[in-house]
Amino acid sequence: MPTIYEVLEFGQIRKEIAAFAQSDIGRETSSNLVMLSKGELKNELAILDEMMVLNLRYGRLPMMSSTDLSQKVEYAFKGGTLTAEDLEAIAHDVIITGKIVLSIRKREEKFPLLNDKIRQFKSLEQLEAAIHRVVGPDLGILNSASKKLASIRKSITETERKMTIRFQSVIESLRDYMTEAVATIRNGHFVLPIKTAHKGKVSGVIHDISDTGMTTFIEPDWAVESNNAVYVLKIEEREEIQRLLKELSILVAAHGHEVLANNHTIGYLDFVQAKALYAISLDGKIAELSEERAIDIKQARHPLINR
């Protein structure tokens, strides 16, 4: 026998509400929507009413694609090192939180239930600032993240600059023996693409041979020391980046419960907004609850039936 959910095609309604959600948790909550008890329903209808008024008068709250942070925070709790992308998602949530709070508090009208919800947000601006002192807009690690990182990268740039000048000079004298008059990189080392028939013209370390066998990639003897220096510097760069990411991961773990609480509050507000937007799209109205065990439906229709 079909369940009440199947008879009412509740699954399709869930999908339509979820389509209005912008966050992972909002979409998941919408997709798992169930019927409520009378006590739960009264509060949910009241906050839905406020959200509908807010959306009709001022537009959507800025959820900005909040992601579910539970796995990231759990990994930090276990001592794992988060990636720059993970950390940016956490910082992004803090920014979303601030925008939501501002959007609700700056309105002339009072939204008591929504204001109660935003008061649940924990202040994590210092965590967001710490992340953005290290992680840049392109998810790269900023030179300014630490003096050591800045120094390492400066040394890499200067060493590679000097090598480029030297290679350009050498290329001019070896142009006739090269398959292409440009230095390239093999195994992390600057090399010259020398015609295999003339590989004896360059003294150095062979790093690779082309598939055709026509080109031999040679690292000149004079470049070995500089190439090795750059190789070591890049290892140091990776180690310093990992140290910075580890420090931030420890900081996330220290504030993990607050991060998750905010993440779920964003998801809940997104879920309520998704319901509000769905209701608005249907020109729907909030039902009035009766103390009597009776249903009085006037000018109502199933939301899946076209007007």
Asked if residue 94 and residue 44 are part of one domain, the reply reads yes
> Which token pair is 113?
């239930």
Q: CB count, 10 Å around CB of 123?
A: 12
Residue 295 located in a structural domain: no
- Domain extent, residue 67, equals 4-124+255-281
> Which token pair is 55?
């959306």
pLDDT at residue 1, as a whole number: 64
Instruction: Fill in the DSSP letter of residue 136.
Output: -
Angle between helices 70-77 and 84-105 (to 10 degrees): 120
Residue 72 located in a structural domain: yes
* The last residue of a domain, from among 242, 273, 292: 242
Residue 224 located in a structural domain: yes
Mind listing the pLDDT tens digit of every residue in the chain (307 residues)?
A: 667 666 667 788 889 999 999 999 999 999 988 877 777 888 899 999 999 999 999 999 988 789 999 999 999 999 999 999 999 999 999 999 999 999 998 886 789 999 999 999 999 999 999 999 999 999 999 999 999 999 999 999 999 999 999 999 899 889 999 999 898 999 888 999 999 999 999 998 999 999 999 999 999 999 999 999 999 999 999 999 999 999 999 999 999 999 999 999 999 999 999 999 999 998 888 877 777 776 676 776 667 766 5
Asked if residue 259 and residue 238 are part of one domain, the reply reads no
Asked if residue 106 and residue 184 are part of one domain, the reply reads no
* The last residue of a domain, from among 242, 269, 298: 242
Asked if residue 106 and residue 11 are part of one domain, the reply reads yes
Distance CA 269, CA 114 (A): 8
Distance CA 272, CA 261 (A): 17
Distance CA 124, CA 253 (A): 13
Distance CA 99, CA 281 (A): 24
Residue 100 located in a structural domain: yes
Distance CA 215, CA 192 (A): 9
Q: Would you call 270 exposed, middle or buried from its count of C-beta atoms within 10 A (0-12, 13-18, 19+)?
A: buried
pLDDT at residue 4, as a whole number: 65
* The last residue of a domain, from among 187, 218, 242: 242
Domains held by the chain: number: 2
Residue 186 located in a structural domain: yes
Residue 10 located in a structural domain: yes
Asked if residue 169 and residue 87 are part of one domain, the reply reads no
Asked if residue 93 and residue 56 are part of one domain, the reply reads yes
Residue 71 located in a structural domain: yes
Q: What is the CATH number of the domain that holds 106?
A: 1.10.1420.10
pLDDT at residue 290, as a whole number: 73
Asked if residue 120 and residue 8 are part of one domain, the reply reads yes
Residue 164 located in a structural domain: yes
Looking at the chain, which runs of residues are DSSP E strands? 184-186, 189-195, 204-209, 215-220
User: Which residue, among 290, 289, 271, has the nearest Cα to 20 in the 3D structure?
Assistant: 271
- Coil, helix or strand for 229? helix
pTM, two decimals, is 0.85
Asked if residue 52 and residue 11 are part of one domain, the reply reads yes
